[in-house]
Amino acid sequence: MPRLEELVGRIPVYPEAERTDKRLRFLAQLSAAQWYVGEGAKRTDPYLSAWAAQRLVLFGCRLLLAHNRVLYPYHKWLIRTVAELPEKPDDLLPLATALLHEPTVATAEAFALSVLLFTEWPQPTAAWSATFIEDSEWNWLDHPPPIEDA
């Protein structure tokens, strides 16, 4: 197959042109997940709290992967890959574990602050809620809904 070697060589290359946009979108997801942890607590809803905590950890980790220009290994290898990142908050993984075991407003805030204060992230031009809605609630306008929403 012509160009196979070239195509295979491009697979592990970080998409630099998408980096800023992805970080902005991940920041919006992080903020939304933190808000949803609070909503779960207000409603005493363990499902919502657990779902939001998982997403908060996911997008905090996605931000740090993007910061380090490391490709997302999917859920199975996420924590292991993040543990090996050269640049990350020292307390990230213990805070993630605490949040996942006890999804409270306090554990969510501690985790989010660890990520948010770690570096100077790009500044969004729109509110996090607008980006979250576009990516998570209106995404079906341009694409089929994700299978988890179908």
Please give the tally of structural domains in the chain.
1
d(CA 32, CA 127): 11
Percentage of the residues of the chain whose pLDDT score is greater than 70: 99
Position 55 in a domain: yes
Residue 32 half-sphere exposure, CB side, CA atoms within 13 Å? 21
Torsion of CA 81, 84, 90, 96, to 10 degrees: 20
Q: Is the pLDDT of residue 80 over 90?
A: yes
Position 2 in a domain: no
> Considering only CA atoms, which of 40, 82, 36, 69 is closest in space to residue 55?
36
Q: Is the pLDDT of residue 78 over 90?
A: yes
Position 135 in a domain: no
- Determine if the pTM surpasses 0.85: yes
The domain containing residue 34 runs over which residues? 16-124
Residue 74 half-sphere exposure, CB side, CA atoms within 13 Å? 1
Q: At 58, is the pLDDT very low, low, confident or very high (cuts 50, 70, 90)?
A: very high
